[in-house]
Every structure is written in C-alpha cells, then in structure tokens.
Amino acid sequence: MKRIKKTRSMGIFAWAAFLVMTWTGCAGLGQSLQAPDILLSGLLVEEVDLFETVLQLKLRVINGNDIPLVLKGIQCELELNGKSVATGVSKTPVNIPALGSDTVSVKVYSSMFNIASSFFRMVQNEAANTGNPDFTYKLSGRIHLETSGLTPSTIPFKTTGKISLEDTFGKIVE
C-alpha cells in the first residue's frame, strides 16, 4: 500500500513539474533567442549560360545573442527592384560566436531572363535621366540551426538595401 502512495506522489510531482515548465515556456531551461541580423556583404557572378545564372552571395550574420548559433544551413531568395530574381540554399555549417559575426556563402540560381530584364530596366531608368542607377534589393529566407530542442530550429530573416551601380562600376550610360 505504501508503494502505491509513493508511486502516485511521484507521478503527481512529475505532472506538476511538467505543467510548470510548459506554462513558463521552460524559461529556466532555455534562453529566448533573438533573430540574427543578416546583411548582404558581397555578390559574385559565378557562372552565366544561355538559360541560367549562378551567383555567390556573401552574407554577414551578426549574432546579438549571449549564446553561439550553430548554423547548419541557409535558404534565401533575392529580389532586385521588387522582382524575384534568384533563390538558393547552403548547407555549409557555420558557428557564429555569441555577440559576434561571421560570413556565410550561399549559391543562388536565376534564369538569365530575370537578371537581364532587371539590368535592362535599370539601364532604361538611367537613360531616361531618372538619376537612379541603383538596384534596391530584398534578401529573405530562413536560417536552419542545430538545436538542443529548447530553441527554434529555423529563424526567418529579411533585409533590404541598395546596390549603387555607379559607385561599383562607374557611369553605365554616357
């Protein structure tokens, strides 16, 4: 009889502990994870053929958390001037130190038509003297993390900016 009461007490205690951890979000066990900042820090044309363009994006990942982030991969989409032009993934693992940063390379793929039409629209704007020889870009996607089960396994990101072609290449249309 004493054994049954002891087992029942242990079961009630385990159930109560489970409920407390569930209600508090396991606050004592895990930490709240802040999404890292992702910046486009480089863009390289790797391959061009009749139908496809391969670009290598260099992304700066800035970790504002007190714990390191172990990235097992990134998937992303690149938009230029509001039009989706490339998408890709990287499965190269990278350790981003706590309160630190590192770069990640992501290979993205685009149809040659998407790249050419974006570039053609930009040249048309410059020829019409709009004074805007820039590409606006939007980079969005998901970071895939190696986790212990107490933190999310994927974190979405989105960043925007401008690529000044005049500063990069000089005057395009004289």
Closest CA to 44 of 108, 122, 87: 108
Q: How many helices (H) and strands (E) does the chain have?
A: 3, 8
> Is residue 51 one of the residues assigned to a domain?
yes
> Is residue 4 one of the residues assigned to a domain?
no
Number of domains in the chain: 1
> Is residue 102 one of the residues assigned to a domain?
yes
> Is residue 55 one of the residues assigned to a domain?
yes
**Containing domain of residue 128, as a range?**
32-168
Cα 172 to Cα 174: distance, rounded to the nearest angstrom: 7
Place 38 in a pLDDT band, splitting at 50, 70 and 90: very high
Query: For residue range 41-91, what is the model confidence (pLDDT) as tens digits?
Result: 998 999 988 889 999 999 999 999 999 999 999 999 999 888 899 999 999
> Is residue 2 one of the residues assigned to a domain?
no
Cα 35 to Cα 136: distance, rounded to the nearest angstrom: 23
> Is residue 7 one of the residues assigned to a domain?
no
| Residue 97 confidence (pLDDT) | 96
> Is residue 174 one of the residues assigned to a domain?
no
* Total-model pTM: 0.70
Task: Kindly report the CATH number assigned to the domain that includes residue 109.
Answer: 2.60.40.10
